[in-house]
Amino acid sequence: MIENLEPLDQVNLELVTAYLKPTCTLSIRRHRESFEDIITTAGLEFHAEQNRIKTHYAIAHDQQALQTYLNAKTRYERGLALGYPEDACEKFQNEKNSHWYLRDQITLAIRNGYPLPTWLAYISHIPSELNIMTAKIAQSSERQGSSYQTHIRKNKPSLGRLIEEQFLKRWCQEPPVRAAAQHRWHDE
């Protein structure tokens, strides 16, 4: 889609463009004008704030979604404006170290030989419940991640492969087996 964007930023931007996610945030270091031209041509709304190093963007599929994000005062409101499930927003609205919860749950699953669900690669929030070993996973996050995964695999298959491979590599696992039935790509 756009060169020099992190894969998860590319995923989020595609999801906003496809109206599957209301708003996303991302940062770029250079080529601001050409990036903004691409966003405008795609019919998206954006708000930019620049510092000495980067330009930070809030990008939405319409002005109302953008204003909802910009007017958000709490982590809960920002999470909802970014399209995160309500239960995830509720659980982590006051927790500053919620990323440790995700890391701990994934580490426990890996140490005990459980495969990671690759839909996790597509979400930018932390599920309110994520115990891979007991299969106690927030259904709202699983549904959302699976929906995002299906869309990206169908419409941007090379991006889907990249995001899943990076996700699994990050957590010290082998990349997905492309021939496996549950990992069939639409461009094969």
Mean pLDDT by 10 residues, the chain (188 residues): 78 95 92 86 94 92 97 94 94 69 85 90 91 91 97 96 90 47 42
pTM of the model: 0.84
Residue 20, classed as helix, strand or coil, is: coil
pLDDT at position 185 is: 43
pLDDT at position 97 is: 54
pLDDT at position 178 is: 37
Q: How far apart are CA 84 and CA 24, in angstroms?
A: 11
Angle 167-69-158 (CA atoms, 0-180°, nearest 5)? 30
pLDDT at position 93 is: 75
Burial pattern 10-48, b for ≥16 Cβ within 10 A else e, equals bbbbbbbbeebbbbbbbbbeeeeeebbeebeeeebbbee
Task: Choose among 70, 59, 62: nearest CA to 13.
Answer: 59
pLDDT at position 184 is: 44
Beta strand segments in the chain, E: 23-28, 45-50, 55-60, 130-131, 136-137
Contact criterion met (CB below 8 Å) for 116 and 168 = yes
Element (H, E) at 170: helix 157-170
Instruction: Give the residue extent of every domain in the chain.
Output: 7-83, 98-183
